[in-house]
Amino acid sequence: MKIVVLGAGVIGVTTAYALGRLGHEVHVIDKADAVAAGASHANGAQISYSYADPFANPETFKKIPKYMLGRDKGIGLHFTKNLGYYMWGLRFLSNCTATKSANNLQLMLELARYSKAAMAKLATEIPCTSIQAVNAGKIILARTPNELIQLSKSASLKRSYGFDIETLDKNQCMEHEPMLASWRGEFCGGLFAPGDKVLDPLAFCMKMQTYSENKFGVKFHFNHNIVKLERNGGKITAVQTDKDMFSCDSAIVCLGAGVNKVLKTIGKRHPVYAMRGYSLTLPKGEHTPNISITDPLSKIVFTNLGDKIRIAGFLDANLPEKKIGSRGLALFETAKKLWPDAANYAVNDAVNDDSGNHVWTGLRPMTPSGIPIVGASALKGLYYNIGHGSLGLTLAAGSAEKIAQIVGENAAQSSGARGQGKKRA
C-alpha cells in the first residue's frame, strides 16, 4: 500500500517506521524543514510509563478557578473568543469525575504498558544509542503528607499493570538521588519508578528518520504545507500540499496542535486543543540529578541529558503571543529558585540565545480525557494517531504499533468483510 503520514514529530516518525517495517510504501509530509520541529523538539525528554496520569481528575477540577484567575505559577487558563476552547473545556470537566478519571487512567496505563513493550522491541531493531532510552528512573516529589497519600493511591493500580513503583520518605528519596540535598523546596517524600527512562526526543526522531529511509525506503517531504485532503466518495485518495499532490491508498494523520486545520478540509474535527509548554536546555550544574525529578506543585521536571540538563514544564491555554517570553523566563527563575545547583543558570540570557542553552516552547495537542485518538476514521483509508498531549514520547512506540496493526488488518480484509472496525469521525 502507498501510505502518506502527515506530520514528522515523534508520533509521525515512529508511525512511518512501523508502517515501513510492514513493507508499505511510506511518504511523510511536514511543513517544517526537518523532523521534530514542533512539540517533539525539546520536550521534557522523560519516558514516563508509570506516570501517564490524565490531567482531567477530581484534584484538577478543584483548582480550575485558581488556574483561570492566574493564581498558579505553573498553569494558566486564559480567556479567549474561541468558542471551541470552551466546548473542549466542558468535555474536559466531564472527565474530571472520580469514575471517568479512574477509567481513563486504566486506559492510559494499558497504552503505556503496550508502548513500553513496543519501545523495548524497537531498541533491539535499531543498533544506535540515539534511540536507546537511558534507564534513569524517576522520582515524583510530594510536598506534604497528604500529597504523598494522594500519589500513593494510584501506585497499587499501576503495580498491577506491571510498573515498579516504590513509596519513599524524604530520606529514602535522597538515598536514591543524593543531589536532592540541595533542593530548596519542601518535600516529605515521593514515588520512585526505577523503570522510567530518559530519551532525547530530537536525536531519537533524527535517527528514526535516517533508519527508516535507509532500511525501508521511507520518503520524507519537508517544507510542504498541507492544503487539503482529497476524497472520492467515502475514501481518501490523496493529500494536496502547496508543492505537490500525493496520491495514496491511506493517510495517517499524526499532526499536533494544528490537526483540525487539516481535518477541516474534509469537514471533520476532533477535540484536540493546543496547550503551550516550555523547556530550558542548560549546562549541567554541581548538583545535576542522575534520576529524573518531577515536582507536581511547580509543574516542572528535571532531566539529565548527559552533558546538559533539560528543565521543562508549565501549561498555558490561549496565552497571548506577547507573554510567551515572560513565561519562559518564569520557568527559568522558578527552576533556579527551587534547585540552584541543578544547572548552570549563569546563562541568564537563555531566553534569547541560540547556542542550545535556550528556552523552547511548543504546543501540546491535548484531548479532554487525556487519551490519544488512535484508530480508523469513518472515511476509508483515513486514520488518526493524534492527541497525545505531554506524553508523545512515552506513548509514541505503542501508538505507532497499534495504528500499523489496524492498517495492516484492514489491508488484508476484503472490501466486504469487517470494514475498518471501530471507526471515528
| pLDDT tens by residue, 38-68 | 999 999 999 999 999 999 999 999 999 999 9
**Radius of gyration in angstroms for the set of CA atoms belonging to the chain, rounded to a whole number:** 21
Distance of CA 366 to the CA centre of its chain: 9
Report how far residue 35's alpha carbon sits from residue 412's, in angstroms, rounded to the nearest whole number: 31
Q: pLDDT tens across 139-174, in order?
A: 999 999 999 998 998 898 999 999 999 999 999 999
**Residue 391 confidence (pLDDT):** 98
- The answer to whether residues 339 and 184 touch, using CB atoms and an 8 Å cutoff, is yes
Report how far residue 67's alpha carbon sits from residue 73's, in angstroms, rounded to the nearest whole number: 9
- The answer to whether residues 249 and 412 touch, using CB atoms and an 8 Å cutoff, is no
**Grid coordinates representing 386?**
493524534
3-state helix, strand, coil in the chain (%, to 5): 40, 25, 35
**Which of 339, 337, 332 lies closest to 357, judged by CA?**
332
SS3 state at 374: strand
SS3 state at 113: helix
Place 306 in a pLDDT band, splitting at 50, 70 and 90. very high
**Residue 424 confidence (pLDDT):** 72
Identify residue 31 by its one-letter amino acid code. K
> Domains (ranges, CATH) in the chain?
2-415 (3.50.50.60)
Tell me whether residue 172 is exposed, middle or buried, using C-beta atoms within 10 angstroms of its C-beta: 0 to 12, 13 to 18, 19 or more: middle
Q: First-to-last CA distance in the chain?
A: 23
Q: pLDDT tens across 337-368, in order?
A: 999 999 999 865 544 444 455 789 999 999 99
Asked if residue 417 has pLDDT above 80, the reply is no
- The answer to whether residues 3 and 15 touch, using CB atoms and an 8 Å cutoff, is no
Per DSSP, 82 falls in state -
Higher pLDDT residue, 351 or 297?
Answer: 297
Sheet containing 2-6: order of strands: 219-221, 25-29, 2-6, 250-253, 382-386, 373-377, 423-424
Q: Which residue has the cell 540535598?
A: 181
Place 220 in a pLDDT band, splitting at 50, 70 and 90. very high
Report how far residue 209's alpha carbon sits from residue 219's, in angstroms, rounded to the nearest whole number: 9
Identify residue 389 by its one-letter amino acid code. G
Asked if residue 232 has pLDDT above 80, the reply is yes
**Residue 348 confidence (pLDDT):** 54
pTM of the predicted model as reported, rounded to 2 decimal places: 0.95
- The answer to whether residues 288 and 304 touch, using CB atoms and an 8 Å cutoff, is yes
User: Which residues, 6 or more positions from 361, have their beta carbon under 8 angstroms from its beta carbon?
Assistant: 276, 277, 278, 279, 324, 327, 328
**Residue 259 confidence (pLDDT):** 97
